[in-house]
């Protein structure tokens, strides 16, 4: 294993040896690294938790001999995670002629900036959009900017700037230099990395076999893929992660395989890469991912990572239960599958053994008679933590009678739970408004939610009942169910 990391910054390869550097450590974020450089002060720290986007930078990597550009929150990315990638900041956008980059010039032309604190992050989100889309739609622009808060200007001129800029086929000085950067990145070996300092051990295996060996040897190590959740322990709680196994370098885990009956999503596939592949067959999962964090978060976050947190308000967990998804666990001892519903055993507790890794999630394809829906209640539509999340499945017979139903809720208990009493009441009954109104009463016996900063217990009970009613409105054949 090598003990250094290498990446491209300012068109040159930068190599960091953590064992010799007295300032940097393996869980130093890219944000803090950049802020300590004399020439990259444009990146800002606003929230240190991926909510404001002021720290947005772009990471570029090689895909099919071409560069792929994606905006990320640098406050959530540890330095070893950018090994083998190009790091681009707002300072790098100035054209070789000395002129502003098209996205920068568009912001000037539309008066899209006032105080300027958030502007560099917005520019970088727009730059990723510029390099990815030609003439993006309003929805695509909005999605690209969801992860960037602006409290001064308002979004109208910023959206205008994005639309005005993204008409040049992504052409700029990065295009001219692309072949050179591709060769630079290819020259960086993708080998396993082992970083040992006085206080930490950080491992970035390059193969699954190495990862399983490390997990067997270090069963208490924190395992990360995108680290969009784990990084908060460093940035907000100021924890020292003593042992880390970072799976971001295991290309074997970055896959989505599809058969006639199911899909298998590898633990290393980002939500961003996964979404277009599931849109047609898994609409309810796609819908919840549309409001999962922001594009900067989805560019790094993974389905397996969200499962591994076992959060009681995890966005994807209820809908995965509704889909009867299965978690694939691997260790040196072998492989086993366990349904998501049984995988989560308590508050942030799972059935995973200490030497096991989540390597994939298997999701059966819906049959023609299965109806799936997902819902999320939060204080704002985008980039917010759930107050209540839910995933529902319904099967009706030809006479509008409930044959089977799954009602999985997050935010109503210490872990994701099904409304079992409601389900039991509904089985064999007509899928009608009257039936649903009676079934709503059983929510009170199924759940005893708590009050916290996101919502009160009473509010949660009412909202959970109303989600059931909304499910009926969204699925009922009004000619039959009255």
User: What pLDDT is recorded for position 444?
Assistant: 96
Which domains are seen in the chain, by residue range? 4-91+177-249 (3.10.20.30), 102-171 (1.10.150.120), 253-364 (3.30.465.10), 370-475 (3.30.390.50)
Longest dimension (CA), the chain: 73
Q: What three-state secondary structure class fits 330?
A: strand
Dihedral Cα 40, 41, 43, 46, nearest 10 deg = 160
Please name the residue that has the structure tokens 């100021």. 238
Nearest 5°: the CA angle 299, 305, 307 is 130
CA distance 301 to 229: 8
Count of C-beta atoms within a 10 Å radius of residue 107: 25
Nearest to 332 by CA among 366, 302, 355: 355
Report the alpha-carbon angle 457-460-463, nearest 5: 155
Q: d(Cα 93, Cα 386) in Å, to the nearest integer?
A: 36
Judging by beta carbons within 10 Å of its beta carbon (0-12, 13-18, 19+), is residue 320 exposed, middle or buried?
A: buried
pLDDT string in tens for the chain (482-residue length): 889 999 999 999 999 999 888 899 999 999 999 999 999 999 999 999 999 999 999 999 999 999 999 999 999 999 999 999 999 999 999 988 889 999 999 999 999 998 889 999 999 999 999 999 999 999 999 999 999 998 788 899 999 999 999 999 999 999 999 999 999 999 999 999 999 999 999 999 999 999 999 999 999 999 999 888 889 999 999 999 999 999 999 999 999 999 999 999 999 999 999 999 999 999 999 999 999 999 999 999 999 999 999 999 999 999 999 999 999 999 999 999 999 999 999 999 999 999 999 999 999 999 999 999 999 999 988 889 999 999 999 999 999 999 999 999 999 999 999 999 999 999 999 999 999 999 999 999 999 999 998 899 999 999 999 999 999 999 987 444 33
- Rounded alpha-carbon distances, angstroms, from residue 35 to 28, 32, 94, 306: 11, 5, 19, 29
Looking at residue 479, what is its pLDDT?
A: 41
């Amino acid at each position: 294993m090598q003990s250094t990391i290498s990446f491209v910054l300012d068109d040159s390869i930068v190599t960091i040896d953590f064992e010799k550097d007295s300032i940097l450590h393996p869980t130093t974020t890219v944000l803090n690294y950049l802020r300590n450089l004399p020439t990259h002060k444009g990146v800002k720290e606003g929230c240190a938790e991926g909510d404001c986007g002021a720290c947005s930078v772009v990471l570029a990597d090689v895909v099919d001999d071409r560069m792929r550009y994606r905006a990320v929150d640098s406050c959530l990315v540890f330095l070893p995670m950018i090994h083998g990638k190009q790091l681009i900041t707002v300072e790098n956008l100035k054209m070789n002629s000395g002129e502003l980059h098209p996205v920068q010039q568009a912001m000037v032309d539309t008066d899209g900036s006032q105080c300027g604190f958030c502007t560099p992050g917005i520019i970088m989100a727009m730059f990723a959009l510029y390099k990815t889309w030609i003439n993006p739609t309003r929805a695509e622009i909005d999605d690209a900017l969801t992860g960037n808060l602006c409290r001064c200007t308002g979004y109208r001129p910023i959206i205008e700037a994005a639309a005005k800029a993204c008409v040049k086929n992504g052409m700029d000085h990065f295009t001219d230099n692309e072949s050179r950067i591709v060769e630079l990145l290819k020259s960086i070996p993708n080998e396993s990395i082992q970083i040992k300092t006085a206080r930490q051990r950080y491992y970035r295996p390059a193969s699954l076999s190495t990862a399983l060996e490390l997990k067997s040897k270090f069963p208490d190590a924190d395992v990360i893929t995108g680290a969009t959740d784990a990084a908060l322990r460093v940035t907000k709680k100021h924890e020292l992660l003593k042992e880390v196994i970072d799976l971001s370098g295991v290309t074997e885990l970055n896959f989505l395989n599809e058969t006639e009956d199911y899909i298998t999503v590898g633990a290393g596939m980002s939500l961003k890469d996964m979404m277009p592949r599931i849109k047609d067959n898994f609409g309810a999962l796609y819908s919840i991912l549309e409001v999962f964090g922001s594009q900067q978060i989805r560019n790094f976050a993974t389905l397996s990572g969200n499962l591994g947190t076992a959060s009681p308000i995890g966005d994807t967990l209820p809908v995965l239960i509704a889909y009867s998804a299965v978690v694939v666990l691997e260790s040196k001892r072998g492989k086993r599958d366990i349904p998501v519903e049984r995988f989560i055993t308590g508050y942030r507790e799972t059935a995973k053994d200490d030497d096991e890794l989540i390597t994939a999630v298997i999701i059966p394809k819906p049959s023609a008679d299965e109806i799936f829906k997902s819902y999320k209640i939060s204080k704002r539509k985008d980039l917010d933590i759930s107050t209540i999340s839910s995933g529902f499945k319904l099967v009706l017979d030809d006479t509008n009678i409930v044959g089977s139903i799954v009602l999985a809720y997050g935010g109503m208990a210490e872990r994701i739970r099904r409304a079992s009493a409601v389900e039991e009441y509904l089985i064999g009954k007509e899928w009608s408004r009257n039936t649903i109104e009676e079934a709503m009463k059983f929510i009170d016996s199924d759940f005893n939610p708590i009050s916290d900063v996101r919502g009160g217990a009473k509010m949660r009970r009412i909202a959970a009942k109303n989600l059931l009613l909304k499910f009926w409105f969204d699925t009922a054949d009004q000619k039959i169910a009255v």
